[in-house]
Structures are given as structure tokens and as C-alpha cells.
Structure 1
Amino acid sequence: MGAAKGAAVDLGRISAVVLDTDGVITDTARVHAAAWKQVFDPFLSERREEPFDIGRDYPRHVDGKSREDGVADFLRSRGIPADPETVAALAARKDACFLAEIDAHGVTPFASTVAFVGELRRRGVRVAAVSASRNCARVLRAAGVGGLFDVRVDGVEAARLGLPGKPDPALFLRAAELLGAAPERTAVVEDSLAGVLAGRRGGFGLVVGLDRNDLREELRAAGADVVVGDLAELRLDGRDGGSLAAGL
């Protein structure tokens, strides 16, 4: 796919890039969504509620958030009390479903993202992987891409430091800090609405929305500077010249 008009990363002003993990680096957003449905549907059926809708409920209430925040936000969207015991039980069940799936079928990275990160590193740009999940390291290892990133900030780090989850920008700000880059010189690449909103709230120099779920206009409304369907559409300008597309 050719580069979209205007879809460029100016490496003259961007010195670091922070990428979300599930749905951007690895093809695991769909696994998360299926695990949520597996957990929520029996719970909702007992209450005579409509089933969990992956196309509607996942991106708007769960995607990009910690398990506990995702459960609480989704339950509130249905008018169901989000008491701590219920939230913890559903979150634990979802984690078990997700891990069983990746153990059984493995994890696939997006080839275009691997190429994008490789080109960034070749040009001397430092790169971080960020996730609200405490399983981030396991997912990256399973995909064989853990060594591509200079920094990883995930749910384990968030719990250790008491960092709030997206749409708060704390995870991204921590990644930029560890990369040694100011937010205004850092780009964020996200596929979730909560993540794009976090990038905008954090004052990052460029927020790229990756539209894998037909949410282009919503990603723009959340604050994405540019929206692409695949990272192969992005052009890298500056440093040693050329473009990412030319290097693929």
C-alpha cells in the first residue's frame, strides 16, 4: 500500500516513538476482544442483558485499558454496578482466557510494524512498547519481537509506580521519560480510542491513529493527528533521508 498523502513522521522534530502493543505491534487485540466476549456473555445472559458486542463495546469501553478499568467501564455502560468483587472476578477470568489462547495458538506480530520499528532504529530513533496489560512482556516474547524495543512500559510497571491507565497519558509519559525524549519530540502510535486520547492529553508531538477497526473518524475525534490503516502507509522524513516505503 502506498503512503497516504501527508502521512509522514518528521524525524527532524521527532526523536522517539512509543507504540501500543496489542493491535499495533502484535495481532492480539482480536484475541483480547474474543476473551472479553467469552467472559462477559455468560455474565450478561444471567442478567438478561444483550451480549457483548465486539465491534461496539470493545473499542469504546475496554480496548487500551487495564483489565479492571475495562470491566468497570463496560459494566457502567450497561448500568450494572461495578463492585470490586465482581470486577476482580471478571478480570481474572478474562486473563485466564487470554493466556490460554496465546499458549494454544501463539502470537503473530504485524510485519509492517516490525519493518517500521526496524527502520526507526536504523535511523537512530529510540522506540518503546507500551501496554496496560501485565502480560506485555510475555506477548512480545511469544511474538519474537521483545528485542526490538529500547523500553517497555506495561501493567507491571504501572502497578509498581501507581500509574493510572489510559486515557490518562501516564504510561506514555513514563515511556518518553525512559527514552530520554520530551513529549513534544515523541510520537505515539495507537489503535485504541483511549490510547489516542492519552497521546493527545500528554502533549505528544505526533499522535498516529492506526485504524484496524473501521474507527477512522472516531480516532480523529479523539485527537489523532493522522490516521492510517497500516504503518506501511507512514513515510519517515529526515535523518538519512528516503522513506519507509522505499526500505520495505
Structure 2
Amino acid sequence: MTVQSRQRLVATLGDVRAVVFDTDGVITDSARAHAAAWKTAFDAYLAEHPPPTPGQRRPFDVREDYLRYVDGRSRLDGAAAFLASRGLHPPPATVRAVAEAKERLFAARLREQGMDAYPGTVRLVRALRRAGIRCAAVSASRHARELLDRAAVLDLFDVLVDGVEAAQLGLPGKPRPDLFLEAARRLDVPVDRAAVVEDAVAGVEAGRNGGFALVVGVARDPGPDAGQRLLRHGADIVVRDLAELLV
């Protein structure tokens, strides 16, 4: 990213009154733990229920499959989408069982080791708050509050809309924008004066579908395609780390 483009983005951030951050992969370094838990759960199911064709029998890929089918979606939507990609369409109870197996694996990892917040994100949130810009965190995960608390950043956010509240309110998952819209509503800021920060394709689509003033994509993957994928799906600009916005 050029210095000029970063300066333009900082000016744009100065025009918004609120920023809504995704949690996993944006605030906390937890996306890899989620992907690893999904891999264990999916690979166990594939071993017991081999897909119909040889080409579909490859194991879950923690990079490509995670980003394409799971990242940013609700647990049940992500599980169903991945299994469908392998030609498997089990009943809802089975999809739920696979998702719950993943949840147990992730929860054990969280209890044992915790998660860290990205320093660049923390710096940006603190700078936004000093500028009077309100901040919210959203997540489809039921563990978001614990994640943020364990990372010692929960108090940096004025609002949190997590998977527990999404289920209680009946909010559909990304790429529907409802999680982000609920966060903006609680911040009392219209969407055309708010920004969304996301690392998932489904998330940037949700921000675009919600009519937010700015959608910032975070592509931490060093691969050349990650940023382009986010741009194609609705990000206005992509950074590797949110500290890049502090020019």
C-alpha cells in the first residue's frame, strides 16, 4: 500500500463516527485455533463418512477451506457449507454434532492457552477512542466475550454483539449484515457514518450488504490472493495489519 492511499484512508476514518470490528483474526489471533479445531472435527467426520468421489475425499485445508467455507459464518452455516463442498448433505442433527465437536475442541484450547490481541489492532482502537470514535466488536462465536476478556481488550469496546446474543435475537450470520447492523444500532450511529473491519470474505460482503460507509479488509495471510479476494467481495481497501492505518 502506498503512503498516499494510507493517508486517504486515515482521512476517511476521520469522517466516520463508529467502527465495527470482527473479532477472530481482526482483534484476536484466534482464527488459526478455530481452523485447527475445524480440521480435527471435519477430518474425523470425513474418515467415517467418505465423500462420494475421490476428488472430494481430501482433508480439510486450514487455509483455503477455512477461508472459503467457514470463516465469518455461524458454526452451523460453516459446517454445512464445507460438508456440501465435499458432496455430503447430512441431516441438521449431524451438522450440529460436527459443529459441537469443533466447539469443544476450541473451548479446550481457549481454556488451556488463551488468545492474544493483535498489537496493531489495539493501537488503532485506542487511537480511534482518543479521537471520539466509538468502537464495537462483533462475532458469530459464542466465545467472543471470553476471548476479548482473556486478551485484556474487552473494555476497549463500547459494544459487543456475539454469537450468544445473535442466537437470542435470531440474527442470521454473514454474509447477511445483521450482526453489524445491530452493533451500529447499539452505538446509535447510522451505517453511512460507520466503518466495518473484517478479514473474511463473508464479513466484507456483510459490510457491503449493510451499506456501511467504509469496509476495511484485513489480509494477514502473506499469499498474494488474500487481499484481492477481499477487494473482489466488497472491501474498499485492504491492509496486512491495522497499524498501517496509523500514519
Q: Same fold (TM over 0.5)?
A: yes
For the Cα contact (< 8 Å) 1:117–1:148, is it kept in 2? Answer: yes
Cα distance in 2, alignment partners of residues 149 and 3 from structure 1: 29
**Deviation digits for residues 86-136 of structure 1 (CA, Å, limit 9, x no counterpart):** 111011110000011111111100001000000000010000000001111
Does 2:145 correspond to 1:137?
Answer: yes
Cα distance in 1, alignment partners of residues 166 and 215 from structure 2: 21
Structure 1 match to 2:227 = 216
Structure 2 match to 1:241 = none
What amino acid is aligned across from residue 234 of structure 2 in structure 1?
A: G
Q: Which runs of 4+ in 1 moved over 4 A?
A: none
Matches within 5 A, 1:96-115: 96-115=104-123
Does 2:101 correspond to 1:93?
Answer: yes
**TM-score calculated relative to the size of structure 1:** 0.92
Cα distance in 1, alignment partners of residues 187 and 164 from structure 2: 18
**Deviation digits for residues 7-57 of structure 1 (CA, Å, limit 9, x no counterpart):** 313244211000000000000000000000011111112233210011210
Q: Percent identity?
A: 55
Does 2:181 correspond to 1:173?
Answer: yes
What amino acid is aligned across from residue 48 of structure 2 in structure 1?
A: E
For the Cα contact (< 8 Å) 1:3–1:232, is it kept in 2? Answer: no
Q: For 1:6, what is the secondary structure of its paired residue?
A: helix
Structure 2 match to 1:120 = 128
Structure 1 match to 2:85 = 77
From the two aligned structures, give the one with the greater helix fraction: 2
Structure 2 match to 1:35 = 37
Unaligned runs of 5+ in 2: 51-56
Cα 1:210/1:189, change in 2 over 3 Å: same
**Deviation digits for residues 146-196 of structure 1 (CA, Å, limit 9, x no counterpart):** 100000011111111111000000000010111111111100000001000
Matches within 5 A, 1:154-165: 154-165=162-173
Q: For 1:26, what is the secondary structure of its paired residue?
A: coil
**TM-score calculated relative to the size of structure 2:** 0.92
What amino acid is aligned across from residue 228 of structure 1 in structure 2?
A: V
Structure 2 match to 1:227 = 238
Structure 2 match to 1:239 = none
Cα distance in 1, alignment partners of residues 178 and 209 from structure 2: 10
Cα distance in 1, alignment partners of residues 176 and 18 from structure 2: 20
Residue of structure 2 aligned with 1:45, choices 37, 44, 47: 47
Q: For 1:32, what is the secondary structure of its paired residue?
A: helix
User: What is the CA-CA distance between 1:3 and the residue it aligns to?
Assistant: 6.8
User: What is the CA-CA distance between 1:212 and the residue it aligns to?
Assistant: 1.3
What amino acid is aligned across from residue 227 of structure 1 in structure 2?
A: V
Structure 2 match to 1:187 = 195
Cα 1:192/1:4, change in 2 over 3 Å: farther
Unaligned runs of 5+ in 1: 235-243
For the Cα contact (< 8 Å) 1:152–1:175, is it kept in 2? Answer: yes
For the Cα contact (< 8 Å) 1:3–1:233, is it kept in 2? Answer: no
Per mean C-alpha deviation after superposition, the further-off stretch among 148-157 and 82-91 is 82-91
Q: For 2:59, what is the secondary structure of its paired residue?
A: coil
Cα distance in 2, alignment partners of residues 30 and 115 from structure 1: 22
Residue of structure 2 aligned with 1:22, choices 18, 21, 24: 24
